[in-house]
Chain A
């Protein structure tokens, strides 16, 4: 029984990690006042770059950073459109959802002989499981502790990132500025905060984090990139962000809820004799999310200026 629970928790953590990275990308952008619906496209490109660089370099960390860098460029593009040109952030973000997968598959076909799928990353190129050796030397394999703790490095990094983002938001001056810019950019501007620069940093970072999210999918959960690998995870990260009410801790629980439902589906689908159709199981995370939203409804905590382009004066560009 205990190992079964451990199994579910283990799967939950594995599937939650990519969502956590990406949702942190979402929240850092939105806290600064820029809606980022392009997380899906950024995650998609990150997943491809992670797998491709992982395949060619054999080094997961170089691959992981390259994925963050590539998706950071998409973040920068979104920043140019939505900050410099005060564009429609929803449309610009949605554009990223075409451009990201477009570039990923375009490059994939050029690099992998016309295939939209990368070759599998060799074992040493895959994300390591840092506690694997320790758990094995203590001969704790297949125990509850091992099921829960023997995770890919990205899982621990995801939790660390959540802590860092929380710390920045609520414990540093930089975070206070981000929140000020997201709530009332004009007031922040009056106080001498550079609204444009700050939004540029945050939106670009959102791309970097979403890229990490994608890479933690292609370098850890599986060990290759395929066109269906991401299929909607970026949107789910977005949902987890809204679910978590734009707060890192709430978002963490949102991602874990999705992971847990996924874990439950994997467990019930493969390890029990329960005759619940897999399709119904797969529906669970989404129905649970809707129910939780309806039952535990709190006041939305979205930044006041989220989605509103900031313009210093009406004539700064034209």
Chain B
């Protein structure tokens, strides 16, 4: 019980996050038990579903890539006091850009990829910047503009997919991007004769190469480091944080608040846009008609919030979120327990992230708990 007596655990960010996670698992277990499923078995299935095979681990990492990006996007805007609900739309703009440029341009491999990342980031940056501009110029709440822009982006994608010059016949999708725009690891080689032969001899690699393993995660980590650096070490970051902390004071201190709002939303939009481009270049290779929003932006909000607004934290929060969803999907398949338990768990985790004061109360609860336990059996002296 020593851990409960160490109050620091309950006041540090990481400590609070860990307790929130534990509460998510605890309440998830309660709900599963009430619904008649064995929670331990369910968590075992989830754990094995993520770690049992190298392929699963790789898939979890692949799935985490877009939400790490959108998480960073939300975290970045959050530092300026802006709530970027628009990562979903910015992601879509990035993916549209990548699908068009990836198909129409014919360029050498690395140049093609680099150009797409830059242009997709710019396009989505401008898209996000609209919300920042409207906030700075007309004081229109960014929550409403980003929600509207999400839908405009959504329907734009559905419109663009239908264009004759891009639409693949008999498909609700565009033509695939050129090979030179793909960022799947060794994509050509693994389908070649020698690749197939080599992989047949190395089953470990054969297993993981079955996935669409791509370079996106490395770019995501790079972006997280850059975003973290901008926020913490640069003048721009200082200005953004000041505006987020107290807009009036920042203005008084000579910071151009309007410019900060626009640049913050542009950067946030750009990051979400790169995520969309990475998803097209690394996974889908095309864009398809959407019937509902895919949720990268919304899940990114959860990731950014669980990470407490830290871009580096987004890497871990994104991996965790992805693992929960990937492992959680197997709970349904194997045990028949509804996978939606994962959404409830994520919600509970967020709920506890929202209430640091409640978590600060935990030591007291633990003391009361250990006190009653001590009276009953005295086994609490173990520590």
Asked whether A232 lies within 8 Å of B144 as measured between CB atoms, the reply is: no
Contact with A along B353-373 (1 / 0, CB 8 A): 111111011000000000000
Asked whether B347 lies within 8 Å of A99 as measured between CB atoms, the reply is: yes
Contact with B along A227-243 (1 / 0, CB 8 A): 01001100110110011
By a CB distance below 8 angstroms, the chain A residues around B83 are 90
Asked whether B340 lies within 8 Å of A109 as measured between CB atoms, the reply is: yes
- Which of B337-383 touch A at CB < 8 Å? 338, 340-351, 353-358, 360-361
Given contacts A99-B348, A300-B139, contact A232 B354 (CB under 8 A): no
Q: For this complex, into which size category does the number of interface residues on chain A fall?
A: 35 or more
Asked whether B353 lies within 8 Å of A85 as measured between CB atoms, the reply is: no
Q: Which of A61-69, A177-185, A275-283 contacts B (4 or more CB under 8 A)?
A: A275-283
**Residue B180 lies at the interface, judged by CB distance under 8 Å to chain A:** no
**Residue A274 lies at the interface, judged by CB distance under 8 Å to chain B:** no
Identify the closest chain B residue to A243 (Cβ).
B144
By a CB distance below 8 angstroms, the chain A residues around B346 are 98, 102
A106→B35 CA distance, assembly (Å) = 9
Query: How many Å from the CB of A312 to the closest CB on chain B?
Result: 13
By a CB distance below 8 angstroms, the chain B residues around A236 are 147
Asked whether B343 lies within 8 Å of A102 as measured between CB atoms, the reply is: yes
Given contacts A81-B351, A102-B340, A297-B140, contact A232 B361 (CB under 8 A): no
Which residues in A have some Cβ–Cβ distance to B below 8 Å? Answer: 37, 41, 77, 81-82, 85-92, 94-106, 109-110, 114, 228, 231-232, 235-236, 238-239, 242-243, 277, 279-280, 282-283, 285-287, 289-290, 293-294, 297, 300, 302, 317-318
Asked whether B162 lies within 8 Å of A277 as measured between CB atoms, the reply is: yes
By a CB distance below 8 angstroms, the chain B residues around A98 are 302, 343-344, 346-347, 350
By a CB distance below 8 angstroms, the chain B residues around A89 are 354
By a CB distance below 8 angstroms, the chain B residues around A77 are 351
Asked whether A106 lies within 8 Å of B341 as measured between CB atoms, the reply is: yes
The secondary-structure label for the interface of chain A is helix
**Residue B107 lies at the interface, judged by CB distance under 8 Å to chain A:** no
By a CB distance below 8 angstroms, the chain A residues around B85 are 235
Identify the closest chain A residue to B301 (Cβ).
A94
A110-B35, A238-B147 given; 13 more Cβ-contact pairs under 8 Å = A88-B353, A91-B305, A102-B344, A102-B345, A228-B292, A231-B292, A242-B144, A282-B151, A282-B155, A283-B156, A289-B148, A293-B145, A297-B140
Partner of A105 from B35, B145, B338 at Cβ < 8 Å? B338
Given contacts A91-B350, A98-B346, contact A279 B357 (CB under 8 A): no
By a CB distance below 8 angstroms, the chain A residues around B361 are 317-318
**Residue B31 lies at the interface, judged by CB distance under 8 Å to chain A:** yes
Identify the closest chain B residue to A297 (Cβ).
B138
**Residue B170 lies at the interface, judged by CB distance under 8 Å to chain A:** no
Query: How many Å from the CB of B299 to the closest CB on chain A?
Result: 9
Query: How many Å from the CB of B294 to the closest CB on chain A?
Result: 11
Given contacts A98-B302, A283-B156, A318-B361, contact A109 B338 (CB under 8 A): yes
Identify the closest chain A residue to B298 (Cβ).
A97
By a CB distance below 8 angstroms, the chain B residues around A318 are 357, 360-361
Query: How many Å from the CB of B16 to the closest CB on chain A?
Result: 12
Asked whether A114 lies within 8 Å of B144 as measured between CB atoms, the reply is: no
Asked whether A286 lies within 8 Å of B143 as measured between CB atoms, the reply is: no
By a CB distance below 8 angstroms, the chain A residues around B293 are 231-232
Asked whether A293 lies within 8 Å of B140 as measured between CB atoms, the reply is: yes
**Residue B254 lies at the interface, judged by CB distance under 8 Å to chain A:** no
Identify the closest chain B residue to A281 (Cβ).
B155
